[in-house]
Amino acid sequence: MPGASFMNWSEPAFVLSFRAHGEWDARVSVFSKNQGRYAGLVKGGQSSRHKNQWQPGHLVNATWRARLFEHLGTCTGEALRDYSAGILHLPLALAALSSACALIECATPERMALPALYDALAGLLPLDEGADDLARYVRFEGEVLKALGYGLDLSSCALTATTRDLVYISPKTGRAVNKDAAAPWAHQLLPLPRFLREAVMPEFSQVCEGLSVTGYFLERHVFPNLGAGALQAVTARRQRLLDLAEARTKTSGASEVA
């Protein structure tokens, strides 16, 4: 068409979701560093070739194109790395990847660049089933909170400004609190797992503490802003991860006792 102009971009992007659209096509959601979260239509997306390429967690070189910026647009892409195929036999790793994709798709603004969060997702992968992998997931949730304006401040004590003996987090401010300063209110505070401040190898029990902390702030600040469908999708995937992490904690504890 003479005078037609198109909006388009092309760069690596993580696939967040894949859904059937009509009889042959598919609707995907992707997340790139410089463009943010975009939805697009994949023509013939229900073919086996496309289904394999556009699975959640895959990294693709995506191209989004639309006649007008506000249109849904179409997506094409070339596979760069498949992060999910190698963990299909690892339920905990797969649950972490699924939860991460759901959080970004459901909680972040559409078409807004969030480069630090993109880097956090890239840094989360590849996943295995060790406590260190799940600790990276907890830090990823911290980056989600930060990207949405609710980041935790664990650099110094909210009451004394000291950087020593930080073992609690204020549920009101999300700031760290020193052990001695917190003594009168310790029962009202959240635990601060050491791995969130220091480069240490955590145990599964500590990682579960970390999931409880980020979960508290997600439930307080993020989840109330989600629609019913988005909330159900996020909480179901995250609960699956919590259940598996708690089961692994019990297994690890039993092994240590034995």
Each residue's pLDDT expressed in tens, for the chain with a length of 258 residues: 333 445 899 999 999 999 998 889 999 999 999 999 999 999 988 887 777 889 999 999 999 999 877 778 999 999 999 998 889 999 999 999 999 999 999 999 999 999 999 999 999 999 999 999 999 999 999 999 999 999 999 999 999 999 999 999 999 999 999 999 988 888 999 999 999 998 888 999 999 999 999 999 999 999 999 999 999 999 999 999 999 999 999 887 655 444
Q: Three-state DSSP class for 95?
A: helix
- CB-CB contact of 43 with 25 (8 Å): yes
- CB-CB contact of 251 with 203 (8 Å): no
Distance, CA of 9 to CA of 7 (rounded, Å)? 7
Determine which helix (DSSP H) or strand (DSSP E) holds 20, and give its type and residue range.
strand 7-21
Q: Which amino acid is at 100?
A: A
Q: Which of 213, 36, 54 is nearest to 107 (CA)?
A: 36
Q: The whole model's pTM is what?
A: 0.91
The CATH superfamily holding the domain 7-82 is Nucleic acid-binding proteins (2.40.50.140)
Distance, CA of 66 to CA of 74 (rounded, Å)? 6
Count of beta carbons in the 10 Å neighbourhood of residue 26: 22
Residues of the chain with CATH 2.40.50.140: 7-82
**Length of the chain in residues, anyone?**
258
Could you identify the residue written with the tokens 């209110």? 185
Q: Which amino acid is at 137?
A: Y
Q: Residue 195 region, left (φ>0) first, then alpha (ψ -120 to 50), else beta?
A: alpha
- CB-CB contact of 216 with 171 (8 Å): yes
